[in-house]
Structure 1
Amino acid sequence: MHLNIEFKARSSRNKELQQLLADHNPRFAGEDHQKDTYFNVPHGRMKLREGNIEHALIHYQRSNIAGAKQSDVILYQHQPDAALKALLTAALGIKVVVEKRRRIYFVDNVKIHFDEVAGLGQFLEVEAIDADGSIGAEKLQEQCRYFATLFGVADSDYLAQSYSDMLLQQPPGAEK
């Protein structure tokens, strides 16, 4: 398990924000088309991420509060395999599917996403990651504050919910 402090914010300036980020010499991991299938689980959230860059089974627990928040993550990286999705679907049932285009950057241990989510719009997500316990929550919070300030994220831009929750709350047929 590793510790993330992360925030998600609504954004209509993703191209501009990517230019701001360029001054920090980020490593560009690429643009991923991701399909996250969320399953019915009794605690936290579990999703199977299928992408052209990232493939993982992810379980996480995180409070639905706006701003930077702690997320406890268990991540299982795997090679794409249709049998895994079939097994999870049969055992747990699908809760919701989130499809997005994600541009992925890294600045040291901080992962920055610029997302275009089907049915929801554009978003910025910043994840300060402590994979081995060597950084600590305080430093991760500081890193999130730094990038929120750099990108000019207003308090009203922060999202409390996951993309999956936002999609589940939309009336049938609603598109933003």
Structure 2
Amino acid sequence: MDLHVRYEGDDDPKKCTARKLARFDLAELHRSDRATPYGVVLNPHAERALSPADREEAERALVALDCSWESAGEAMFSLPGEHRALPYLVAANPVNFGRPMRLTTVEALAAALCILGEREHAERILAKFRWGETFLELNEEPLRRYADCADSSAVVAVQGEYLDRGE
């Protein structure tokens, strides 16, 4: 599965997980919407949750947007493609450790890969970060459960259980 990042370049370059992925040829960065390939776009504002049913479409490209959280409004997600939101997960990165839904680009891509049945690919990209394995450990159960779902509505139902628990 090819990983692509619509790269804004508005974060600290030393902490940018997308740039690090690109340095290791694990993802391709794109500076414009036009240059970014059509595929599944990870978008926290999307109306549908990512599920294993999106695997075929994601084979074309899995796309994340790399920008600061301050500028990550809905308008930033004008990319063409099938927009999907990631379900409830907890960040392991040093800046947002333990905070729900505050994932770095690499965490978002790795989560999507796990949900789409590409766990080894997720492990490979996270291996470049000291805290990468921690992300998989923190989210072991939900990632496994989301990957076992048939479709978006099933993912949302599982997510509801975590939200009800207040995790």
Tell me the TM-score normalised to structure 2 length: 0.30
Please identify which structure carries the higher helix content.
Answer: 2
Q: Which structure shows the higher strand fraction? A: 1
Which structure ranks higher in relative contact order (CA pairs < 8 Å, sequence separation ≥ 6)? 1
Higher gyration radius (CA): 1
